[in-house]
Structure 1
Amino acid sequence: MALAQAWPSKPIRVLVPYSTGTPPDISSRLVAMHLTKALGQPVYIENKPGAIGLVALKELLRQPADGSTLLCMVMPLVTTPALLPTQAVDLQKELQPIAQVDTAPTVLVVNNDLPVKSARELIELMKTRPNSLNFGSGGNGTPAHLTGELFKQLHKVTATHVPYAQFSQVAPDLMGGRLQFMFLTSSVAVPLVTSGKLRAIGIAAGKRLAALPDVPTLSEQGLGEFDSSNWTGLAARAGTSPDIIARLNKEVTAILAKPEVIAQLKDQGMIPVPGTPQQFAQYIASESKRWTEVIRKAELIAQ
């Protein structure tokens, strides 16, 4: 109890499993800036990309459970037990969720030369030209990859996945025609679509995007419920004082209610998702179950 009362007595490090400038990095830096003011200690970001998030996660697990090191929890981490079983970490046992921060809807985009104007037309083209279309991602097990696999499974179509070591290489190949379609997070997709570099043919979320109001959701196109939004949150190492977790959750919830934070996240295509640690834990468990099933059906192996 004395430890919790004294916390934080030193700077707090937030490990982000992605490189600088990516959506999780952007939202984490925004929250860290406001946490610095709220907690009276510097809260800083350390980027630890690699191994579908395991580099950052394992760095967290090497640190004491004292609330001085936190993890930006991202969707790909829930897939690691299925994709990398030899490096598996029991997330339920090793992590203490603090709060979800945001969600970012996914946009189905195509190369401008592809002769389709809707998700239904893309499916029909894939059925008439099996395995002739390519879709890209920033690597095996990433949201873009798994969403593409889920799309294939649901609609019984085939296409070739092309993983990239650097996500920055994906958009040029998509615009250039080496890739024909892709599921992009909204923060990346919107500027490419509004500038005319790519065509959006569906929103893979529960409702339309304000930034792309004329693009219908996949469910609006009669393709059933399909929500593959990307998301981020904060987690600590299991064993961290409940008082510290409660304080962090309280501060993050207050930050996500600030109009300027809501506006800044919206500018990046993100939607704030405040909630309790228990709600975030339940969401992580449901996401893990859902994507593990996709991985099993697709017989995926991370590389």
Structure 2
Amino acid sequence: MAALVVAIFMGGTVGGVRTSDRVRPVPVIRLAPCTCPPRYDLWGDQRACPSPRELAVARSMDMPVAIRSACVTIGFLSAAGAVAQGYPTKAVRLVTDGSAGGGGDVLARIVVAELAKVLNQQVIVENRPGAGGTLAPPVVLRAPADGYTLLQITVAAAANVTLRPNLPYDLLNDFSAISQVASGPAVVVVHPSLPVRSIKELIALTRARPGEVNYSSAGTGSSTFLGAELFNHAARVNLVQVAYRGGAPALVGVVSGETAVMFSPLGSSLPLLNRGALRALAVTTSGRVPAIANVPTVAESGVPAYEFSNWYGWFARAGTPGDSINTIQSALVSVLGRPNVAQRLSDLGYLPVGSKPGEFAAYVKENVDRLRTVLQPQRRPGGAR
């Protein structure tokens, strides 16, 4: 700052006007150490600024408005730099419950690549898959509540509250919601040989052949399981689960005809739908999905109480400073609003969200309560089913 002020006084250009043409030479002002508290130092942390006496001297010499304005601008720019030096000051770790290369992992890496640019810090994705998504939360719970270890989980975490009552953590009390990053619509798909072309026909077939029509899932507690079980509850039918070790084998099961139905993530099933390997009956969201706008929703197909989508959300450990949570949430909203990010997520079948912490916390609790109503009768002591 001192160098710039000296340049102005010695003769330079301000706004395209030679300062030497407008002001007479004046002595260079000596800058005394700032006596302001660091937190309110508008000139920047540990930077020199004119004392009140020196500012009075400058004014007495009829310092031009342009020069005084330049000094004030420098002060505010320095303040902005001081703010930027706050959280985060080091790399941030995002622990996800998805496996490397899986849908949640790909989603996380698309987001953090842009988030790192906004935060000006590295954001590292750490995969902790397994045990129905219950291995990732304890990692964050063991870390300090300083905002440098975050958690990405899905709707399965809300189901685990009921399905796995002996969890080593409390989802609603041990973590602070940051934002829902995205939702993952599902589509009800059937093997082309199944004699149904609508949800109404699927319901009729299931009721005519109770216990015989089955569905593929990636395992109890997965989004593919939850979508189907919520449908059973809302439509009052009994599609029978055939659990596979993951979403890919489950999808192969319905493509091969081993199973009849699947509530499949849209991104996974869309290429197969385009090839005619599967038939779409309905999407599970409350509204139609642009990628397959000709496919109706389950609700408009005869089950008005039904709505489901997988959500991907970020959390911090409870006790994390609110300013840190707000910084991450604001950065996420900025990233999700970028056209390149929105397009990449859309291509994978995701819908960007970017909700506020309070909104997301309420949404998670609503999910926990809703899923408890459906899943409680199915749970056995110890979490077995």
Aligned CA-pair RMSD: 1.9
Alignment of 1:174-193 (within 5 A): 174-193=254-273
User: Residue 112 of structure 1 aligns with which residue?
Assistant: 192
User: Residue 91 of structure 1 aligns with which residue?
Assistant: 171
TM-score (norm 2): 0.75
Which ranges of structure 1 fall in alignment gaps of 5 or more residues?
A: none
User: Residue 261 of structure 1 aligns with which residue?
Assistant: 341
Report the Cα offset of residue 222 of structure 1.
Answer: 2.2
AA of the residue aligned to 2:327: R
Q: Secondary structure at 2:108's aligned position in 1?
A: helix
Shifted more, 83-92 versus 234-243: the winner is 83-92
Report the Cα offset of residue 283 of structure 1.
Answer: 0.7
User: Residue 163 of structure 1 aligns with which residue?
Assistant: 243
AA of the residue aligned to 1:224: P
Report the Cα offset of residue 297 of structure 1.
Answer: 3.6
User: Residue 224 of structure 1 aligns with which residue?
Assistant: 304
Among residues 138, 154, 160, which one is paired with 2:218 in the alignment?
A: 138
CA distance in 1, matches of 2:261, 2:134: 28
Alignment of 1:27-106 (within 5 A): 27-87=107-167, 89-106=169-186
1:148 aligned to 2:232?
no
Among residues 12, 22, 25, which one is paired with 2:102 in the alignment?
A: 22
Q: Is the contact made by 2:138 and 2:168 (CA closer than 8 Å) also made in structure 1?
A: no
Q: Is the contact made by 2:234 and 2:305 (CA closer than 8 Å) also made in structure 1?
A: no
TM-score (norm 1): 0.95
Q: Is the contact made by 2:251 and 2:264 (CA closer than 8 Å) also made in structure 1?
A: no
AA of the residue aligned to 2:182: D
Q: Is the contact made by 1:206 and 1:225 (CA closer than 8 Å) also made in structure 2?
A: no
Q: Is the contact made by 2:199 and 2:302 (CA closer than 8 Å) also made in structure 1?
A: no
1:281 aligned to 2:371?
no
CA distance in 2, matches of 1:217, 1:205: 6
CA distance in 1, matches of 2:118, 2:369: 35
Deviation by residue 1:38-83 (Cα, 9 ceiling, x = unmatched): 1121101111111222100111111111111110121101111211
Q: Secondary structure at 1:292's aligned position in 2?
A: helix
AA of the residue aligned to 2:318: A
CA distance in 2, matches of 1:16, 1:191: 26
CA distance in 1, matches of 2:218, 2:171: 23
Report the Cα offset of residue 88 of structure 1.
Answer: 5.1
CA distance in 2, matches of 1:182, 1:88: 31
1:9 aligned to 2:89?
yes
User: Residue 74 of structure 2 aligns with which residue?
Assistant: none
CA distance in 2, matches of 1:243, 1:5: 14
CA distance in 1, matches of 2:169, 2:159: 10
Which protein has greater RCO, CA pairs closer than 8 Å, 6+ apart? 1
User: Residue 201 of structure 2 aligns with which residue?
Assistant: 121
Shift in CA distance, 49/234, structure 1 to aligned 2, threshold 3 Å: same
CA distance in 1, matches of 2:144, 2:330: 22
Identity of aligned residues (%): 35
Deviation by residue 1:130-176 (Cα, 9 ceiling, x = unmatched): 11111111111111112211211222222221111232211111111
CA distance in 1, matches of 2:119, 2:161: 34
Report the Cα offset of residue 302 of structure 1.
Answer: 4.4
Shifted more, 130-139 versus 219-228: the winner is 219-228
CA distance in 1, matches of 2:272, 2:143: 40
Q: Secondary structure at 1:85's aligned position in 2?
A: coil
Q: Is the contact made by 1:134 and 1:178 (CA closer than 8 Å) also made in structure 2?
A: no
Q: Is the contact made by 1:81 and 1:89 (CA closer than 8 Å) also made in structure 2?
A: no
Among residues 173, 191, 205, which one is paired with 2:285 in the alignment?
A: 205
CA distance in 2, matches of 1:302, 1:38: 44
Shift in CA distance, 296/156, structure 1 to aligned 2, threshold 3 Å: same
Report the Cα offset of residue 253 of structure 1.
Answer: 0.9
Q: Secondary structure at 1:182's aligned position in 2?
A: strand
CA distance in 1, matches of 2:375, 2:221: 8
Q: Is the contact made by 1:96 and 1:235 (CA closer than 8 Å) also made in structure 2?
A: yes
User: Residue 215 of structure 1 aligns with which residue?
Assistant: 295
Q: Is the contact made by 1:70 and 1:237 (CA closer than 8 Å) also made in structure 2?
A: yes
State which structure, 1 or 2, has the greater radius of gyration over its C-alpha atoms: 2
User: Residue 296 of structure 1 aligns with which residue?
Assistant: 376
CA distance in 2, matches of 1:235, 1:174: 34
| Length, aligned pairs only | 303
Report the Cα offset of residue 299 of structure 1.
Answer: 3.9
